[in-house]
Amino acid sequence: MKQLNISIKHNLIVGLLIALWLFIFAFIIKPFDDGTINLRAWFFISFGFSVMAFLCYAILAIVQKSVYKKISKWNVKFEVVSLLLFYVIYCIAIYAYYKSPILKGGYSFTEFFVIIFIKVALVLTPVIILARRYLIKLIPVKEDVLTFRGENRLDVLKIKKADLVCVSNAQNYVEIFYVENGKLTSKLIRSSLKKVQEDFDFLMQIHRSHLINPVHFKSWRNQNTLILTQIELPVSKNYKETLLAL
């Protein structure tokens, strides 16, 4: 996962769907019914847990939007942390509601977590994962802009994906080659080739010191050299088989 839909509107719609699903499931299935909870109580449990789910997801939407704007990237690690953050907030919120004068719950926090919260989380998790995957498809199509960030705060480069030609290792730096006003330009950023490849998985490795943007491949100069837009690079034997498909 390399993208995140930061639209508050889209995320609130997902929050509403999650809340609706939780209400219907809890009210009809009664997953932790011990035979002592009447219909009125089940309505308040289902309604309260659903409202809390919506509010907590709204908080998550605001937090993740702020984080995404700062780091300009997203991956599975951030996605897992987001899900855990939602559940931490949600667990605290519904336990407070459970202990409120409305429900007057008798379980301790540990009992509540084991008997009630885990069952709620098991029901919600697949729905949240699927909904968040679908959200990515709602991101408006726009021209891709790549953001390279180095270890230094001032090491930032934003370029169009189509303009990136290649990235080469330069000791403790990487040299990024891109087309600007029809001319090949480069910039050094303190980072590693491995990190660049992790951040931009469309890049192809042709040598231990070089990554290329496949769209700029022009032809083979010879069996050990590639011609890209306004630059030639060596090719290692280890990567030649993959590159022959270009």
Band (pLDDT 50/70/90 cuts) for residue 17 is very high
The two structure tokens encoding residue 47 = 């309604």
Q: At 174, which amino acid appears?
A: V
Q: What is the pTM of this model?
A: 0.62
pLDDT in tens, 176-224: 999 999 999 999 999 999 999 999 989 999 999 999 999 999 999 998 9
> Is 56 part of a structural domain of the chain?
yes
- Position 43 pLDDT exceeds 60: yes
Q: Quickly count: other Cβ atoms within 10 Å of residue 52's Cβ.
A: 22
Which CATH number goes with the domain that contains 232?
Answer: 2.40.50.1020
Residue 141: the pLDDT is: 57
Residues 98 and 214 in one domain: no
Q: What is the mean pLDDT of residues 158-178?
A: 95
- Domain with 35 in it: 8-137
Assess whether 15 and 121 both reside in one domain: yes
d(CA 48, CA 27): 11
8 A C-beta contact, residue 235 and residue 207:
yes
Tokens of 144: 């891709």
Confidence of residue 64 (pLDDT cuts 50, 70, 90): very high
Q: Which residue has the higher pLDDT, 40 or 16?
A: 16
Q: Between β-strands 204-207 and 210-212, what pairing exists: parallel, antiparallel or unpaired?
A: antiparallel
> Is 110's pLDDT higher than 60?
yes
Whole-angstrom Cα distance, residue 40 to residue 108? 23
Beta-carbon count within 10 A of 11 CB: 23
Q: What total number of domains does the chain contain?
A: 2
- In a shared domain, residues 124 and 159: no
175 CB-near residues (< 8 Å, 6+ apart): 167, 168, 169, 186, 187, 188
- What's the pLDDT at 82? 95
Mean pLDDT of 95-109: 93
Measure the CA–CA gap between 179 and 196, rounded to whole angstroms: 18
Q: Are residues 204 and 131 in the same domain?
A: no
Mean per-residue pLDDT for 86-101? 96
Phi, psi at 114, each rounded to 5°:
-75, -45
CB contact set of 219 (below 8 Å; sequence gap of 6+)? 226, 227
Are 167 and 126 in a shared domain?
A: no
Q: Are residues 226 and 173 in the same domain?
A: yes
| Domain final residue pick, 91, 118, 137 | 137
Confidence of residue 48 (pLDDT cuts 50, 70, 90): very high
**For residue range 120-131, what is the model confidence (pLDDT) as tens digits?**
999 999 999 999
Helix, coil or strand: residue 154: coil
pLDDT value at position 130?
93
Among 69, 104, 137, residue at a domain's last position: 137
The SS3 call for residue 231 is strand
Report the pLDDT value the prediction gives residue 191, as an integer from 0 to 100: 94
Lowest mean pLDDT segment, chosen from 21-30, 37-46, 155-164, 236-245: 236-245
Residue 2 lies in a domain: no
Mean pLDDT of 79-91: 96
DSSP per position, 168-182: EEETTEEEEEEEETT
Rounded mean pLDDT, 62-77? 88
In a domain, residue 3? The reply is no
Hey, what long-range contacts does 15-18 have (CB within 8 A, 24 or more apart)? Answer: 15/53, 15/54, 15/57, 15/58, 15/61, 16/54, 17/127, 17/131, 18/53, 18/54, 18/57, 18/124, 18/127, 18/128, 18/131
Residue 193, token pair as written in the block: 């080739």
Q: Could you tell me if 45 and 37 are in contact, meaning their C-beta atoms sit under 8 angstroms apart?
A: yes
Q: Which of 108, 137, 166 is the last residue of a domain?
A: 137
